[in-house]
Chain A
Amino acid sequence: MRVRARVSGVVQGVGFRPFVFGLASELELTGFVFNDASGVVVEVEGPQVDAFLLRLRSEAPPLASVESVSSVVVPEEGARSFEIRASPRGGAPDAPISVDTATCDACLAELFDPLDRRYRYPFINCTDCGPRFTIVTGVPYDRPWTTMASFVMCAACQAEYDDPRDRRFHAQPNACPECGPRVTLTEDAGAEAGGAGAADDVLAAAARALRGGAILAVRGIGGFHLACRADDEAAVARLRARKHREERPFALMARDAAMAATLVALEPAPSPPETAPSSPATALTSRARPIVIAPRLPGAAVAPSVAPRTPELGVMLPYSPLHHLLLADVGVPLVMTSGNVSDEPIAFENDDALERLAGIADVFLLHDRPIHTRVDDSVLRGGRIVRRSRGYVPATLPVAPAPPLLAVGAELKSTFALARDGRAWVSHHIGDLGNYETLRSFTDGVAHFERLFAVTPELVACDLHPEYLSTKYALDLDLPTDGVQHHHAHLAACLAEHGVERAAGAIYDGTGYGTDGTVWGGELLRGDLTSFTRLGHLWPVRMPGGEAAIRAPWRMACAWLLEIGHDVPEEWSRVAQLVRSGLNSPLTSSMGRLFDAVAALCGLRDTVTYEGQAAIELEARADRHETAAYPLDTTCTQPVYRGRTPVYDLDARLVLDARPTVAAVVEDVERGVDVALVSARFHNAVANATAAALRDEPVIVLSGGVFQNELLLARTLELLPRALTPRQLPVNDGAIAYGQAAIAARRAQSRTR
């Protein structure tokens, strides 16, 4: 029998054809295999065709992700051999591009084998591992369309590349010390990077500098890191001061899982598997190699400045050969923080790094393999994704089949998404669009994705917030637009990911533009991918001074105190006037701002130096054994007015009336109750109210940035064990673009029907 099979999914650049070749040889089949624009085409002939088709799926190489195998029987040809054929050109490039992947065990063994020709070569890779997405410049995925284009392979490398039995067959970044990229070390940021020595000397010198307390800028896969010894308080404090980063924790890199286990508790979370998508230990060693945030161990040899005022640490393992060599040589955990100043995007080009990081790094470890797309490290906390970037992008997520479209996402933690033919490519974490450099990587990124995945948008989806730079970008395009309410997008992202039609959700976040022009953020919504209704929301209060209230949680405390008729401290009297006058003080139903207010009322935080800091510290302080809860009423039968304006949305049936909650917080704080108990009782109140509001709903979603709070999420899930939460995307605004895409696609689909 002879069949022709088409395999789609992530099947190019991942060693799929050698795998097919090997399998066909083993089963004594004849025929051929080749890549085309949509994936892989195989024809096999022989008695064991059925076994071949089964194993094609089940034994696919680690980086492959087979979406479908469709086969038809064709006339036998009686061929004598099996061959790998050249790819035909043309057609839409449909074959997905693989993610950047951590160095595999086979390559790692060679890296540390003194007899191997790639011994201590910082760019070793194969079809199972190495850079992909970050080095792709165009399609098809082939060496000329990567940043390896300028490196001409030596005879030995070329032979591996051409041999279908070799694990480097068509490994596009294939390289060796003879022909591949090189590292250089420079202390003088002003000098042209030169003085290349053997990679070994360079790395040994870099490790020596690190051991001696220097700050090293090191170019990795998606950009530059700033590194120093994690146990050297002087070095870490110097890094903080030079980077202008006040308190936001630094990530660490440990040599291996054993070293990581001396820093953080990596046991699987005690919650059921449904609530914890992957255990911290699994995530840490996964091929994506994200930063894993986990509880800090008491004996962790880490300087105080690494992560002030938090009981957690973010740890990752080496994911490139360069990192492996550095960590092996240094022998202690390193701080590995993004190579930038303050909130700027990370540097990824040598010149840019030498200029921008000149005031921070003592030594620069550079290399000459260009990075085409800047990509941050991904971050997981409690097994949940907080930042989806390197190692996860550009994997696709499902949307309704609809005309090609672009979704531009939110403003901070922004991502974008392109969709066509039922698939959405959600971009890597882009960041704060108010930063010009970031805005440029947003617009460049959209253009790059459009080419790479052959999406020519006919429609653009955006937030309703008129001041989001993403919204302005969308409106400036010459395309029909579909405005999507922010919290509807949060809900939809979770629905679409789980393939669920409709649900009721608690969407709790900082701020989002509501359909009534006020600031939403503590929302109970019921809806599907086309529309929603507002079931309820948090009791709204003023946000004194708008964004100023986000930077200064005490302002929210002031607003809530006035709301419950409590007097406010004398030094808050001007902000109290601001609340009363309503000047530049929009009404908000934000749950994030309620957490801020409670943190300030507990005396934890008056101002913040990074987003979410007050809520993070409130969570950190909570006594996990406390079961009592403050009152938080979930119904309101009498309309309440503020002047002539209804206090809450009269169409919404439920109001989460947090006034008694805040009153109870104040009372306990005034009585001198331990903050740990106050915090826990407050968390429990929000969980109880959420459960009470949604308990009878058939399908329940929990999302929004506030649910990054693990305690709140765990408590709520205990009460609502059926609730769905985002798994492949964060609960925060990183999911907005996908939610917009899912809604716009479904609306477009229903319009064309």
Chain B
Amino acid sequence: MAHGAGGKATRSLVEGLLAPAFGIKSLDDAATIGELALTTDAFVVKPLRFPGGSIGELAVNGTVNDLAMGGAKPLALTLSLILEEGLGSDVLRAEVDAIARAATQAGVRIVGGDTKVVERGHADGMYITTTGLGQRDQRAQFQPARPGDRILLSGPIAAHGTAIMLARGEFDLDSDEIVSDTRSLWPAVDAILGLGAVRRLRDATRGGVASVLNELARDDGVAMLIQESAVPVAPAVAGACELLGIDPMYVANEGVFLAIVEPGFVAPGFVDIGEVKTDPPGMVLVATSFGGKRVLDELVGDPLPRIC
């Protein structure tokens, strides 16, 4: 199977295999137990360090953000580290420092952990699994998106995935500006909750904004109409995407989320990129500068040219 790309292949694995086996409808990013929220996430990223971040920071922020997207204030984390035999101690130390620093910045405590070393060739340097515990925020009363709702974005997109790609390709772009956006999203969530009815929150990680919009459209049986020109992309990131031939809408983020909010909602610092529509249900369309509408579908795997 094509894994890792996010999108449809992963979704069918989750919907087809995991969810039925555990007798639940879907594997939500965060589950709630009374007033508490619980989430778990595994981190595999290559390279371990990249401009703007590293696997340790991702392991903290990714899990913290799953809690935030579930409308919960992150409280505490446990970690499980899987290390490949021969991993440099300096590398390990750097990641432990990164974890500690990210946890401090996100305001969460690391309350437990486990470490395993596996044979050489059995893990790509280091894997981290993080479990996070949060306190549900009463202001978060999520509901399905409705036609007329606005679609807000918390910041410019595509920085993380582009930084990773460039790091992998060893490009000597002057890429000081292209750094991962990994960060805790709780402060921004804390700010937006309570400004009005926030119907949905979703961080645009793997598969990018496009995949998340498709998930939302499909789950809620609505259409999403995005204004192409309204979607913020930093110029350096846009230039790199152009070079790489990739659409920023499909590029992973680690510090950007989408909020579906009631009409008339005003949220300083957020960008309004479009509207929830009735037709065509389950689809995401992009209004182009020519006035046409393009289909922004979910990718099954790696994008290959469709033009004959």
Interface residues of A (CB under 8 A from B): 244, 341-344, 356, 410-413, 433-437, 439-440, 465-469, 472, 486, 509-513, 519, 543-550, 574-575, 577-578, 581, 583-586, 592, 611, 705, 732-733
- Evaluate whether A467 and B303 lie within 8 angstroms (CB atoms) in the complex, with A244-B290, A732-B308 already known: yes
Chain B nearest CB, measured from A189 CB (Å): 14
What separation, in Å, do the CA atoms of A519 and B280 have in the docked complex?
A: 32
Q: A412-B306, A436-B283, A547-B307 are in contact. List 14 more A-B contacts (CB 8 A).
A: A244-B290, A341-B292, A342-B292, A436-B294, A469-B297, A486-B308, A511-B304, A519-B305, A547-B306, A574-B173, A578-B169, A583-B168, A584-B165, A705-B308
The A-contacting residues of B in range 275-308, CB under 8 angstroms, are 280, 283, 285, 290-295, 297, 299-308
Partner of B169, one of A244, A437, A469, A581: A581
Contact of B245 with A549 in the complex, beta carbons under 8 Å: yes
Contact of A465 with B304 in the complex, beta carbons under 8 Å: yes
- A contact residues around B305 at 8 Å (CB): 510-511, 519, 543, 546-547, 549-550, 586
Which applies to chain B's interface (DSSP): helix, strand, loop or mixed?
loop
- B contact residues around A550 at 8 Å (CB): 305, 307
Nearest neighbor of B168 in chain A, beta-carbon distance: A583
Mask for B192-229, Cβ within 8 A of A = 1, else 0? 00000000000000000000000000000000000000
Contact of A356 with B308 in the complex, beta carbons under 8 Å: no
- B contact residues around A510 at 8 Å (CB): 305, 307-308
What separation, in Å, do the CA atoms of A510 and B307 have in the docked complex?
A: 7
Q: Does B191 contact A (CB under 8 A)?
A: no
Query: Can you give 22 contacting A-B residue pairs, CB < 8 Å?
Result: A244-B290, A341-B291, A344-B290, A410-B308, A411-B308, A436-B280, A467-B303, A509-B308, A543-B305, A544-B245, A545-B245, A546-B303, A546-B304, A546-B305, A548-B244, A549-B245, A574-B173, A577-B170, A581-B168, A584-B246, A705-B308, A732-B308
Q: Does B111 contact A (CB under 8 A)?
A: no
Q: Does B24 contact A (CB under 8 A)?
A: no
Top 9 closest pairs, chain A to chain B, by CB: A545-B245, A548-B245, A581-B169, A436-B293, A466-B300, A583-B169, A342-B290, A411-B306, A344-B292
- Could you say which of A467, A519, A543, A578 has the most chain B C-beta atoms within 10 Å of its C-beta? A467
Contact of A584 with B308 in the complex, beta carbons under 8 Å: no
Q: Does B171 contact A (CB under 8 A)?
A: yes
- A contact residues around B28 at 8 Å (CB): none
Mask for B123-141, Cβ within 8 A of A = 1, else 0? 0000000000000000000
Contact of A578 with B243 in the complex, beta carbons under 8 Å: yes
- Evaluate whether A465 and B290 lie within 8 angstroms (CB atoms) in the complex, with A544-B245, A577-B169 already known: no
Contact of B307 with A435 in the complex, beta carbons under 8 Å: no
Chain A nearest CB, measured from B129 CB (Å): 28
What separation, in Å, do the CA atoms of A544 and B171 have in the docked complex?
A: 14
- B contact residues around A342 at 8 Å (CB): 290, 292
Chain B nearest CB, measured from A607 CB (Å): 12
Partner of A586, one of B280, B294, B299, B304: B304
Chain A nearest CB, measured from B274 CB (Å): 14
Q: Does B242 contact A (CB under 8 A)?
A: yes
What separation, in Å, do the CA atoms of A343 and B291 have in the docked complex?
A: 11
- A contact residues around B292 at 8 Å (CB): 341-344, 435-437
Chain A nearest CB, measured from B305 CB (Å): 5
- A contact residues around B283 at 8 Å (CB): 436
Contact of B170 with A581 in the complex, beta carbons under 8 Å: yes
What separation, in Å, do the CA atoms of A434 and B293 have in the docked complex?
A: 9
Please report the total number of B residues contacting A with Cβ < 8 Å: 32
- Evaluate whether A545 and B297 lie within 8 angstroms (CB atoms) in the complex, with A343-B292, A413-B308, A511-B308 already known: no
Contact of A545 with B306 in the complex, beta carbons under 8 Å: no
Contact of A467 with B306 in the complex, beta carbons under 8 Å: yes
What separation, in Å, do the CA atoms of A586 and B173 have in the docked complex?
A: 21
Chain A nearest CB, measured from B256 CB (Å): 21
- A contact residues around B280 at 8 Å (CB): 436, 440
- B contact residues around A584 at 8 Å (CB): 165, 244-246, 302-303
- A contact residues around B165 at 8 Å (CB): 583-584
- Evaluate whether A512 and B308 lie within 8 angstroms (CB atoms) in the complex, with A546-B303, A547-B245, A549-B245 already known: yes
What separation, in Å, do the CA atoms of A741 and B307 have in the docked complex?
A: 21
Chain A nearest CB, measured from B275 CB (Å): 15
What separation, in Å, do the CA atoms of A413 and B304 have in the docked complex?
A: 18
What separation, in Å, do the CA atoms of A466 and B170 have in the docked complex?
A: 29
What separation, in Å, do the CA atoms of A289 and B282 have in the docked complex?
A: 41
Mask for B42-53, Cβ within 8 A of A = 1, else 0? 000000000000
- A contact residues around B291 at 8 Å (CB): 341, 344, 356
Nearest neighbor of A356 in chain B, beta-carbon distance: B291
Contact of B242 with A548 in the complex, beta carbons under 8 Å: yes
Chain B nearest CB, measured from A465 CB (Å): 7
Partner of B304, one of A410, A412, A513: A513
What separation, in Å, do the CA atoms of A581 and B246 have in the docked complex?
A: 15
Nearest neighbor of B285 in chain A, beta-carbon distance: A436
What separation, in Å, do the CA atoms of A465 and B308 have in the docked complex?
A: 11
Nearest neighbor of B288 in chain A, beta-carbon distance: A342
- A contact residues around B304 at 8 Å (CB): 465, 467, 511, 513, 519, 546, 586
What separation, in Å, do the CA atoms of A413 and B293 have in the docked complex?
A: 18
Chain A nearest CB, measured from B165 CB (Å): 6
What separation, in Å, do the CA atoms of A745 and B242 have in the docked complex?
A: 42
What separation, in Å, do the CA atoms of A543 and B243 have in the docked complex?
A: 12
Mask for B143-175, Cβ within 8 A of A = 1, else 0? 000000000000000000000010011111100
Contact of A434 with B295 in the complex, beta carbons under 8 Å: yes
Chain B nearest CB, measured from A638 CB (Å): 29
What separation, in Å, do the CA atoms of A585 and B291 have in the docked complex?
A: 31
Nearest neighbor of A345 in chain B, beta-carbon distance: B292
- Evaluate whether A412 and B290 lie within 8 angstroms (CB atoms) in the complex, with A436-B285, A574-B171, A578-B244 already known: no
- Could you say which of B165, B244, B299, B306 has the most chain A C-beta atoms within 10 Å of its C-beta? B306
- Evaluate whether A733 and B308 lie within 8 angstroms (CB atoms) in the complex, with A467-B303, A581-B171 already known: yes
What separation, in Å, do the CA atoms of A705 and B307 have in the docked complex?
A: 11
Nearest neighbor of A355 in chain B, beta-carbon distance: B291
Contact of A434 with B168 in the complex, beta carbons under 8 Å: no
What separation, in Å, do the CA atoms of A694 and B295 have in the docked complex?
A: 41
- A contact residues around B302 at 8 Å (CB): 584
What separation, in Å, do the CA atoms of A549 and B292 have in the docked complex?
A: 24
What separation, in Å, do the CA atoms of A544 and B169 have in the docked complex?
A: 13
Chain A nearest CB, measured from B230 CB (Å): 18
What separation, in Å, do the CA atoms of A578 and B173 have in the docked complex?
A: 12
What separation, in Å, do the CA atoms of A141 and B290 have in the docked complex?
A: 39
What separation, in Å, do the CA atoms of A436 and B223 have in the docked complex?
A: 12
Nearest neighbor of A410 in chain B, beta-carbon distance: B308
Chain A nearest CB, measured from B153 CB (Å): 21
- B contact residues around A411 at 8 Å (CB): 306-308
- Evaluate whether A472 and B308 lie within 8 angstroms (CB atoms) in the complex, with A583-B169, A584-B245 already known: no
Nearest neighbor of A512 in chain B, beta-carbon distance: B308
- B contact residues around A705 at 8 Å (CB): 308
Mask for B65-104, Cβ within 8 A of A = 1, else 0? 0000000000000000000000000000000000000000
